[in-house]
A and B are shown apart, each in its own frame.
Chain A
Amino acid sequence: QQPVQSPQAVILREGEDAVINCSSSKALYSVHWYRQKHGEAPVFLMILLKGGEQKGHDKISASFNEKKQQSSLYLTASQLSYSGTYFCGTGGPDKLIFGTGTRLQVFP
């Protein structure tokens, strides 16, 4: 089942913060976060694993509540380059199922 992302869209001014949420009805092995610019390939941001391990970029932070089967991505002091669509992917043992995305627009 496809994870649910919220909100569907966010509009920010440079320097503002945002939180994007991802929830699943299934138990999760992992949660992935990717950002996609229009017409381009998704770019890896972070993986959160059961047990608390995280792999990703230093300037991105996220949380993973295994019990609640939820993850949140925290974007602080947003920059123009943060604009794009953010996808979470929830992991079973061998594949990812992606959410429908959150569109983020950052204006000067």
Chain B
Amino acid sequence: DGGITQSPKYLFRKEGQNVTLSCEQNLNHDAMYWYRQDPGQGLRLIYYSQIVNDFQKGDIAEGYSVSREKKESFPLTVTSAQKNPTAFYLCASNPAGSSYNEQFFGPGTRLTVL
């Protein structure tokens, strides 16, 4: 079955530690996206990538970093510079990176920083 996998589902870290969230897709989609969701708020775009080895900042990129070394994979690192990292993180992909296409979402990772 094609889809997007995110692991782990729940993640706990101590303050000051970097943590990397995994996102893998086997849909052969060109574009991948990371969103952050806080209670009562919408999905805010962190980073996105239209093609391997290229990515752009979204609206709230500060304190985050990404890489896109393979088409299938778009890991997100939450660094210690992110002031309030506790949130629900969603990864998504899109066939051609155009907003004319549906976005496919992974199941999400809930990150809690203690």
- A residues touching B (Cβ–Cβ < 8 Å)? 2, 29-30, 32, 34, 39-44, 47, 49, 55, 87, 89, 91-101
* B8 contacts across to A, CB distance below 8 A: none
- Interface size, chain B (Cβ < 8 Å): 28
Contact (Cβ within 8 A) B100 A99? no
A-contact 0/1 string along B52-76, CB 8 Å cutoff:
0000001100000000000000000
Chain A contacts for B105, CB-based, 8 A: 41-43
Q: How far is the CB of A94 from chain B (nearest CB, A)?
A: 5
Closest to A90 in B: B99
Contacts of A47 in B (CB 8 A): 100-102
Inter-chain contact A2/B42, CB cutoff 8 Å = yes
How far is A87 from B44 in the complex, measured between Cα atoms in Å?
12
Query: Which are the 4 A-B pairs with shortest beta-carbon distances?
Result: A91-B99, A41-B105, A98-B43, A98-B42
Q: Tell me the chain B residues, 33-60 only, with Cβ under 8 Å from chain A.
A: 33, 35, 40-45, 48, 50, 58-59
Given contacts A95-B33, A95-B58, contact A44 B42 (CB under 8 A): no
Interface residues of B in 79-114 (CB under 8 A from A): 88, 90, 97-108, 110
Interface pair A95/B99, CB less than 8 Å apart = yes
Write the nearest CB–CB distance from A63 to chain B, whole angstroms.
Answer: 18
Q: Which of A30, A42, A43, A49 contacts B43 (CB 8 A)?
A: A42
Cross-chain contact B90 with A41 (CB below 8 angstroms): yes
> Which residues of A have CB within 8 Å of B33?
95
Q: How far, in angstroms, from A86 to B50 measured CA to CA in the complex?
A: 26
Q: How many angstroms between the C-alpha atoms of A47 and B41 in the bound complex?
A: 21
**Pairwise interchain contact B43-A87, C-beta atoms closer than 8 A:** yes
Contact A96 B42 (CB under 8 A): no
